Structure 1
Amino acid sequence: MAVLDQLTSQEAMALENKYGAQNYHPLPVVLTKGEGVFVWDAEGKKYYDFLSAYSSLNQGHCHPKIVDALTTQAQRLTLTSRAFYNDKLGKYEKFATEFFGFDKLLPINSGAEAVETALKVCRKWAYEVKGIDINKAQIIVCENNFHGRTTTIISFSNDPVARKNFGPFTDGFLKIEYDNLEALEDALENNPNVAGFLVEPIQGEAGVYVPSDGYLSAAKALCEKHNVLFIADEVQTGVARTGRLLASCGNCSCIDKNCSGTPEVKPDILILGKALSGGVYPVSAVLANNEIMNVIRPGNHGSTFGGNPIAAAVAIASLEVVRDEKLAHNADYLGEIFRGELNNYILDSKLIKLVRGKGLLNAIVLNDDENSDTAWNICLKLRDNGLLAKPTHGNMIRFAPPLVMTEAQLRDCVAIILKTLAEFE
């Protein structure tokens, strides 16, 4: 782009506000370049990215290996649809299923699309394998969940902004309290038509709500007892973000590769997205073993772009980066430092009452009302001080930097965060 064609931040925001649908409320900063853990705005100011596109950029901005996979494949073959085979999809399916320990992968594009796909797979399994009467299957979900914004998904959302004036909604869901085993057991005991339990191993949008130790393994055991599929939505928590390859792995020791030992939980259906793409191209997937995935036959489900050659090449490169650069180990190590420093700060803080998270998915909870603008104002000041983050609610701020961050960079970011918080005490 010629210098004269470059937009100022104000011009870029004005264009979006005039011509774009107002379905987002972005922080007022216009980004034009990214590299590793850094981004630059239209005026050339440099920032630490502490959101990573909601954990899509675990491998950092414009990772050279992933970008090379994208550009190389884009110059050869971009799209065939699934009307024909291509020479990349099978390689990707083999690599990813072996990487995560499943028999089959169904390739798609977005996180919400992956959740919808998992729901369909679960229901079809319920009718054809478990023997539930047609159209009677129910799926248990958790309060304060975030699985996307399609009509079916918002049918079981608690968010009034996501739901208001979008009905009628889809039936077939039972909502229970998150991190409540008694509620799950009661729902399973009293509803013979339950087909699956859809759960986030950590509720990200709810404020990085980490469940109690043992919750996931106990929930999986209850599902097994009642012949119900345990469906893990790891779109945000997966691919090394929480210091393990998958958040559902809990505290297993194998943090740099596929969990070949005994993870805390092995989901029956695994939903992946975001960082599966390396942040350069939409890629998501649903994984399951044959006894579940084989209910899907030609014509049951499809996606024109799902499994395209670019997506396949990008996903393989993205997972190789996670493995080769030991990003789960780095997230685990840096996350302990981050929470340690913030927890030391809140000992004398009147502003912050709680720090929670795993790996490099963390949040602070403010001593304020959820409907306040304090978290937003803190994020504006963080921006001024060279770090970009975003509230999840009026009293919570999520911190999720790229996993390629070094310890020196993390400590620099902690200093920025603590300096900013001190201005609001």
Structure 2
Amino acid sequence: QPTLFAIQVALAALLVSWNIYPSTIVSHSAGDQAAAFVAGRLSLEEAVRIVYHRSRLQNRNTRQGGRMLAVSMREEEVKEKLLKGIEHLACIAVINSPRSVTLSGDEKTIDELEQMLSTFHPNIFKARLRIENAFHSYQMDRFDVEKELLSSLSDIRGLPLKDPQQMFNQKCAEACLYSSVIGGELSNKIPVDAHYWWTNVRQAVRFRDAVASIAQNNDATIFLELSPHPVLATSIRECHESANQQPLILPTLKRKENEQITLLTSLAQLTISPDIWQQYFHTRNILSSNEDEAYFDGFPLYSFQLSSCWYESKESVIKRLANRIPTHPLLGVRQLSGQTTATWRSLININLSQYAFLKDHKIQDGILFPAVALLEIVAAGYRQLFLSTDNKEQSLITLEEIKFVKALVLTQHELTEIFTQIDMLKREWSIYSRPWSSAGPDCMRP
């Protein structure tokens, strides 16, 4: 439970950092604490205390003969066909949707119910929960759980916070909070105090009623599930079927799948959702004067950066530039640059025959890029810029005030990028280099 709380709050904080805020918040069982905190009903200290004591006290019933079983049946049908006469041994612990409930109770009784379903109703979906506890059942009445929980949380008021410093986020606190404890909207007058949290532990989770209330009030058409794995999507969809609604339901994380891809895919789906844009226009009071008039708004401006806006792999670069034959083997290919500067880029691979001669320039065990080769690069660049095609080979070039800052060491296991830059106004030049695998913009100056 503490881990779940941390993950849910972290996901909420990440979404808020992207300026994504909820208009409605609904939670399920162990997620109620995070929901109350994000919705501005609890401070962080209070929420953590509730998580701690709830988890600690419920753990007393672990491995004490309790089990839970998810069944794809209606609540009334379960009471009539499965639980009639054995209500003291098993009960409905969770009502997720009109045709999905979870049973909780004595291990032997749960085993018998599972066997009965397999024998007489083989087509009904059922799944045993991988927990050794009977949550939301009579077993929670044991071991003084109620008494100690009420005592530990007696000072928690649970009313809307007034101090912004204690809130998770002020905008999130404006969202409508729906509770699976009461099965509907939780008004500001209903406190999430110690008695509320005991009800959360002991009574059935009425998630179906809470989501049905959201659908009836038309408070949400997009659901973003903040959890380690999406487990409520089907239930949310089934709750909206009676109202002939089809909400967009998106995950934030999926078990055994890439977290970034999952979250960013959901973010992309949010971006293209018509409901999101309708809400965007509505909250800014943008109304069209007639049906055919397009919507306009003053979108935020930003300064464009003169850098690549896409990612391209090195393999793609090699293939794309394969046919671009450089005018000089060491100078390389001229890049797009400013009007007063010229930049060339070359990729040196001493394992290729055209660069094999560089292997001979060794000092001790290191292969050094020759200083004369650096001067040759500058001369080649100068010829491209300032000399005509007819007299490039005959012209004399004079280089002055040459400074070698650092030797360029080549290796057979790493390609080297060399950048040559000439300032045409100042007639100054610089040569930089970096390993091909380097991702940073900084280069070493030879």
Taking structure 2 as the reference length, the TM-score comes to 0.24
Higher RCO, 1 vs 2 (CA within 8 Å, ≥6 residues apart): 1
Q: Which structure has the bigger radius of gyration?
A: 2
- TM normalised by structure 1 equals 0.24
